[in-house]
Amino acid sequence: MPTLLLLPGDGIGPEVTAQVRRVAERIMPELTLETRLFGGCSFDDLGTPLTDEALALARASDAVLMGAVGGPKWATAPRHLRPEAGLLNLRSGMGVFANLRPALCFPALADASTLKREVVEGLDIMIVRELTGGVYFGQPRGVETLPDGQRRGVDTQVYTTSEIERVSRVAFELARGRRNKVTSAEKSNVMETGLLWREVVTALRARDYADVTLEHMLADNTAMQLVKNPRQFDVILTDNLFGDILSDEAAQLTGSLGMLPSAAIGVAGSPGLYEPIHGSAPDIAGQGVANPLAAILSFAMALRWSLGRADLADRLTGAVESALSGGARTRDLGGSLGSGEMGDAVLACL
């Protein structure tokens, strides 16, 4: 029997994953659901944001769905014990090197964007972010004190050809099933890793993906083009740091961060990690008002990419769309439904 590991985490994580549980039990009763502590709550109870046991279970599951991690409570914990460190360790421990972050403007929500309707209507971008390398993982790193008493902070941006190639492959494959265009974003004008990135992506395309249109764009320009004319993009391929930034920007284009799912995948056959893009939102945590749709849509991605049930993924996505067209809105979408009521609305449409 397939197993889904739920890692509700911190802040609004438990509230949104509770709705995923309801949907999962309805749509795929044969799925075994496990739950473990993760993030700040795991640090509080077990002394570490990610236990070995939780990581081992994640690797042995068919898919992992997390809510969110982090919050002001843990801001002063040592870096390696911070909730965010648990997430980075989970990603690298699971080997999920490609992060798929769709930015999709749901027709019913086009007016919720801070950009004009005519700019965002019909928007459908897929950001492919490298997730287990680059400056978030590179060594050396740290803060040292210099002989003159100053302090010096170091992070290292580093990529190997194989790291670039495997995530690029994912982007090209995805593009083939979409509008057949990849925009690779880096800073080859000032960074060595950027130059290598551009060379490797270009060579890979020439070798295996000559049918896919490839465009190179500097990452700062990509940030600007995203607000100027976002519909020019199909798949955006980029590194860990730029992907972190550009995916937040792209999410805002669609009107609500509360709507966007993501999938992190590794080599074929290994479990994927699914998470809503929104964070732990400590300001509204515990009030039962968080929008559970990003988490529910993340579960839909898990159905498609890890559980081999594209049919159920389509059904669930359709139910979310119907709930929205029927007027179901949580507070972030200008409505007044609570998390559980939004869950009810989706269940009613299933």
Q: Which is nearer to ligand IPM, 16 or 323 (CB)?
A: 16
Query: Which one among 15, 244, 275, 332 touches Mg ion, defined by CB under 5 A?
Result: 244
CB of 168 to Mg ion, least distance (A): 21
Instruction: Rank residues 127 and 319 by Cβ distance to ligand IPM and give the closer one.
Output: 127
Q: According to the binding rule CB under 5 A, does residue 239 interact with Mg ion?
A: no
DSSP code for 304: H
204 binds, among Mg ion, ligand IPM, none (CB under 5 to 8 A by kind): none
The angle that helices 13-27 and 310-325 make with each other, rounded to 10 degrees, is: 120
The answer to whether the beta carbons of residues 295 and 276 sit under 8 Å apart is yes
In the complex, what is the shortest distance from the CB of residue 188 to ligand IPM, in angstroms, rounded to a whole number?
A: 23
Q: In sequence order, which residues have a C-beta less than 8 Å from that of residue 147 and are 6 or more positions away?
A: none
**Residue 84 vs 173, nearer CB to ligand IPM:** 84
Q: Choose the one of Mg ion, ligand IPM, none that binds residue 84, judging by a C-beta under 5 to 8 angstroms depending on kind.
A: ligand IPM
Nearest distance in Å: CB 60, ligand IPM: 23
Antiparallel, parallel or unpaired: β 63-68 and 181-186: unpaired
Please identify which residue in the block is written with the tokens 């000032």: 190
218 binds, among Mg ion, ligand IPM, none (CB under 5 to 8 A by kind): none
Question: CA angle 100-106-110, nearest 5°?
Answer: 125
Six token digits for residue 135:
């400056």
15 scored as a contact of Mg ion (CB under 5 A) = no
CB neighbours of residue 302 within 10 Å? 28
Collect all residues with Cβ–Cβ distance below 8 Å to 204 and sequence separation of at least 6: 165, 168, 169, 172
User: Which residue lies nearer to Mg ion by CB, 163 or 244?
Assistant: 244
Shorter beta-carbon distance to ligand IPM: residue 203 or 223: 223
Residue nearest to ligand IPM (CB): 84
Q: Which residues contact 288 (CB under 8 A, 6 or more apart)?
A: 15, 338, 339, 340
Site string for Mg ion, 257-276 (x = CB under 5 A): --------------------
As a whole number of Å, the end-to-end CA separation of the chain is 23
Active-site amino acid positions: 136, 187, 220, 244, 248
What the block records as the tokens of 217 is 């764009």
Binding site partner of 87, from ligand IPM, Mg ion, none, Cβ cut-off 5-8 A by kind: ligand IPM
User: Interface with ligand IPM by CB under 6 A: which residues?
Assistant: 70, 84, 87-88, 244
Going through 113-250 in order, the beta strands assigned E by DSSP cover: 124-130, 138-145, 151-156, 181-186, 213-218, 235-238
Contact 277, 298 (CB under 8 A): no
Q: Which of residues 88 and 123 has its CB atom nearest to ligand IPM in the complex?
A: 88
Asked if 186 interacts with Mg ion (CB under 5 A), we say no
Q: Which residue is nearest to Mg ion (CB)?
A: 244
Neighbour count for residue 243 (Cβ, 10 Å)? 24
Binding partner selected for residue 8 from ligand IPM, Mg ion, none, CB under the kind-specific 5 to 8 Å limit = none
Partner interacting with residue 121 (select from Mg ion, ligand IPM, none; CB below 5-8 Å by kind): none
Q: Which residues bind Mg ion (CB under 5 A)?
A: 244
